[in-house]
Amino acid sequence: MNPLYCFSKSLLRVYLMAMLSLSFIGCVNLGSKTLKNERSNYNLSVQRTNDEQLMLNLVRLKYRDTPFFMEVSSVASQFILSTGVNAFGNPLNDSTKGLFGLGGNVEMIEKPTVTYSPLQGDKFIQRVLSPIPLKTIVLLFHSGWSIERIFRLSFQAMNHLKNAPGASGPTPSIAPGYMEFTSAVKYLRKLQVQSAINLSYIKENGVPKLLLHINETYKNSKEAKQFAIALNLEPGKTRYVFAFSPVLDKTDQIHVVSRSLLGVMFYLSQAVEVPREDVLQGKVTQTKTHDGKIFDWKKVTGDLLKIRSLSVKPEAYSKSTYYRGTWFYIDDSDLSSKSTFSLLAQIFSLQAGNIQDNTPLLTLPIGQ
C-alpha cells in the first residue's frame, strides 16, 4: 500500500478528531462564559441608556422642547460557535521531526438584535399623561421610599395646600406656592422615621382611597398634630383618608390632586441648571416673584434633585446626557438627587403596568 495514502488517512482521522474535540470544548466552556459576561453587559447597557433617555427628556422639558421616549422592547442575541483546523508543512532538513503539523481555533460570533418601540398613542396617554394612581403611591411607600419624597413628586395639592401646581407643565412665569405643602409632608416623614405611620389602599363603592394610619401612641404627638392643623383636619385621629373625591364636611378627609408622569417630569425639570448664556438668550423661561424678582427654583426642588451642567464631560457623575452642546449630569456623591431620579424611574416603570404590548415598529440588527 502506498505510504503516502496511509499517511493521508491518518492525517484525516486526526483532523476529524480535532474538529470534534474543539467543538465539544467550545460548547462546554464558551457557552457558560458567554452567558455570564454578555448578560451583565446587556443589563448595564439597557439600564444606562434608560437613565440617559429619562434625563434627556428632563432637559428637553426645561427648554420647552418636545419629549420623546424610545422603549427597548426586546434584546435577542444569537451566538455562533466557529471552529477550524489547519494543517501546515515543515521544510525538510535534518532537525525536522515531522512533515506536517496541525493547528486549530475556536471563535464565538455574536449577532444581537435590539427592538425599539416608540412610546406614543394609547401607550403614551396611559403611561405619561394619566394621573398617578393612589395604589402606585402605596406601593412606593411599602417599597421603603420616603413619604415626603413620594408626596412631593406625586401630589400637586392636598386640601388647600399647593405644591407648585403650575410646575406640572411648562415652567410658569409666576412663582408658585409650595412652602406649606412641603412643611406638612415633612411632619409625615418624621413620623415615618419613627415607624409611627402606615399607608393602605382601599376601594369604597369603586372609589379609590389612600388611608394614612397613625399609631395610637403617636396620634397626639407634635408631628401628628402639626400635620392635622396644616390641612384643617381634626387632630388626635388614628386614620385620615386621601381621595380624589373625598366626603365633604368630614374632618378626616383630604382632597388630593396627583400629577401625571409628565407632570412629575415637568416639576423635576426645574432642577436642571442651564448655562447662563442660554438664560440670557431667552432659551428658558425665567420665573419671577410677584414683586418682579427672579425666582430661584432651588427653593422648590433643590433638596430633591440637582442636575448640573458643564461645557465638558464631567468626571464624577452618576447619570449624564449631552444636549444643545452642554453636558447635563447628576454628581455621583449627590445621594438625594440619585434617590429622586431612581424614584422617578420606578414611577415610569409602574405607569406601564396595565399597558399591553404592541407590535414593535423598529427592529435593528446590530453587527455581524
Cell 438664560 locates to 279
- Residue 161 pLDDT more than 80? yes
When pLDDT is averaged across residues 324-352 and rounded to a whole number, the result is 94
When pLDDT is averaged across residues 43-55 and rounded to a whole number, the result is 86
d(Cα 231, Cα 137) in Å, to the nearest integer? 19
d(Cα 81, Cα 37) in Å, to the nearest integer? 16
Q: Quote the cell numbers at residue 322.
A: 449631552
Give the strand pairing for 197-204 and 161-162. Answer: unpaired
The predicted-structure confidence for 84-130, as pLDDT tens digits, reads as follows 555 555 555 555 555 555 555 656 666 777 777 777 777 777 778 88
Percent of the chain, pLDDT > 70?
74
Q: What residue segments make up the domains of the chain, in order of their start?
A: 3-118, 131-350
When pLDDT is averaged across residues 325-348 and rounded to a whole number, the result is 96
Q: Quote the cell numbers at residue 231.
A: 390641612
pLDDT value at residue 364: 44
> Which of 25-29, 67-71, 160-164, 167-171 bottoms out in mean pLDDT, i.e. has the lowest?
25-29
pLDDT value at residue 327: 97
Residue 294 and residue 276 in contact, taking contact as beta carbons nearer than 8 Å: no
Percent of the chain, pLDDT > 90?
60
For the CA atoms of the chain, what is the radius of gyration? Answer: 31
Q: What is the pTM of this model?
A: 0.78
- Residue 12 pLDDT more than 90? no
pLDDT value at residue 158: 96
Q: Quote the cell numbers at residue 97.
A: 521531526
d(Cα 251, Cα 235) in Å, to the nearest integer? 9
Q: Quote the cell numbers at residue 42.
A: 446587556
User: What average pLDDT is seen over the chain?
Assistant: 83
The predicted-structure confidence for 260-294, as pLDDT tens digits, reads as follows 999 999 999 999 999 999 999 999 999 999 999 99
When pLDDT is averaged across residues 54-82 and rounded to a whole number, the result is 83
When pLDDT is averaged across residues 146-173 and rounded to a whole number, the result is 96
Q: Would you place residue 194 in the very low, low, confident or very high pLDDT band (cuts 50, 70, 90)? A: very high
pLDDT value at residue 115: 78
Q: Would you place residue 176 in the very low, low, confident or very high pLDDT band (cuts 50, 70, 90)? A: very high
pLDDT value at residue 128: 86
Q: What is the DSSP letter of 178?
A: -
Residue 355 and residue 123 in contact, taking contact as beta carbons nearer than 8 Å: yes
> Which of 57-61, 113-117, 223-227 bottoms out in mean pLDDT, i.e. has the lowest?
113-117
pLDDT value at residue 248: 81
pLDDT value at residue 277: 96
Q: What are phi and psi of 106, to 5 degrees?
A: -125, 130
Q: Quote the cell numbers at residue 121.
A: 398613542
When pLDDT is averaged across residues 168-176 and rounded to a whole number, the result is 94
Beta strands in 119-192 (DSSP E): 155-158, 161-162
When pLDDT is averaged across residues 290-307 and rounded to a whole number, the result is 95
Alpha helices in the chain (DSSP H): 3-62, 121-124, 134-142, 147-154, 179-193, 222-230, 261-269, 276-280, 298-301, 335-350
Beta strands in 159-289 (DSSP E): 161-162, 197-204, 207-214, 239-243, 253-258
- Residue 17 pLDDT more than 70? no
- Residue 362 pLDDT more than 50? no
When pLDDT is averaged across residues 154-176 and rounded to a whole number, the result is 95
Q: Would you place residue 69 in the very low, low, confident or very high pLDDT band (cuts 50, 70, 90)? A: confident
When pLDDT is averaged across residues 289-303 and rounded to a whole number, the result is 94
Beta strands in 244-340 (DSSP E): 253-258, 308-310, 317-323, 326-331
Is residue 203 helix, strand or coil?
A: strand
Cα-based torsion angle of the residue sequence 243, 245, 248, 253 in order, rounded to the nearest 10 degrees? 0
Cell 521531526 locates to 97
Residue 211 and residue 199 in contact, taking contact as beta carbons nearer than 8 Å: yes
Q: Would you place residue 368 in the very low, low, confident or very high pLDDT band (cuts 50, 70, 90)? A: very low
